[in-house]
Amino acid sequence: MKLNVNGKSVEFSGDEQTPLLWALRDHLNITQPKFGCGAGLCGACTVHLDGQAIRSCLTPVSVAAGKKVTTMDGVTPALAKKIKDAWIAEDVPQCGYCQHGQMMSAAALLSKNPKPSDEDINSEWTETFVVVELTHVFVAQFIALLKLNLRRLLWIDVRLLNLLQSYQLV
């Protein structure tokens, strides 16, 4: 089956029920999307399918036939730079394992809506951060999102905002 990955036509000859994640990683040697939870909760496997952020660990490769699959390598250079610069400036990456998925979620949202409302952010982003705890990484990601004009998240409460303000981070 032919796939369009990052603007290139590639051939996949495995089982069409193979999760897209494994088609990308094991058959096409595209290793940016990671296996995290296998249940679509953590977002480490996030890629774009026709511009929509999807969990590739749950999506059969057959669903991608005839559609555009995009990893961070396929995001427009200007948008990729903006996202990467915000992540680096705020020292977000620790081990980096889930960063691809989080950056792809940001890219999908900003591609459709460069100035998203709080409601847009809440509907698009909440699942990506459900499994993230309040750590340095979490705070850094939040600040990076602020710099990307992703102002606030639904489940960020007043206590967290007060904490960020007390450190003069927002």
Number of Cβ within 10 Å of residue 55's Cβ equals 24
Residues 55 and 83 occupy one common structural domain:
no
Tell me the torsion sign for CA atoms 131, 118, 115, 90: negative
- Burial class of residue 9 (count of CB atoms within 10 Å of its CB; 0-12, 13-18, 19+): exposed
What's the whole-number mean pLDDT along residues 80-106? 74
What length is written for the chain? 170
Q: Are residues 97 and 127 in the same domain?
A: yes
What pTM did the predictor assign? Answer: 0.68
Query: With 90 as the cut, is the pLDDT of residue 153 above it?
Result: no
Asked which of 42, 73, 104 is the last residue of a domain, the reply is 73
Of 73, 104, 132, which residue is a domain's last? 73
Do 27 and 15 fall into the same domain?
Answer: yes
Question: Is the pLDDT score of 111 beyond 60?
Answer: yes
Q: What is the pLDDT of residue 134?
A: 42
**Whether 43 and 53 share a structural domain:** yes
CA 127 to the chain's CA centroid: 11
Q: What does the buried/exposed string (b/e) look like for 103-131 if buried means 16 or more CB atoms within 10 Å of the residue's CB?
A: bbbbbbbbbeeeebeeeebeebbebbbee
Are residues 99 and 150 located together in one domain of the fold? yes
55, 128 in Cβ contact below 8 A?
no
Q: What is the CATH classification number for the domain harbouring 156?
A: 1.10.150
Domain of residue 48, CATH code: 3.10.20.30
> How far apart (Å, rounded) are the C-alpha atoms in residues 18 and 39?
15
Statement: residue 157 has pLDDT above 80: no
Same domain, 24 and 89: no
Question: Do 144 and 133 sit in the same domain of this protein?
Answer: yes
Residue range(s) defining the domain that contains residue 50: 2-73
Last residue of some domain: 27, 46, 73? Answer: 73
Mean pLDDT of 26-39: 88
Examine the domain organization and report whether 98 and 133 are in the same domain: yes
Q: Provide mean pLDDT across the span 20-40.
A: 90
Residues above pLDDT 70, as percent of the chain? 65
| Count of domains forming the chain | 2
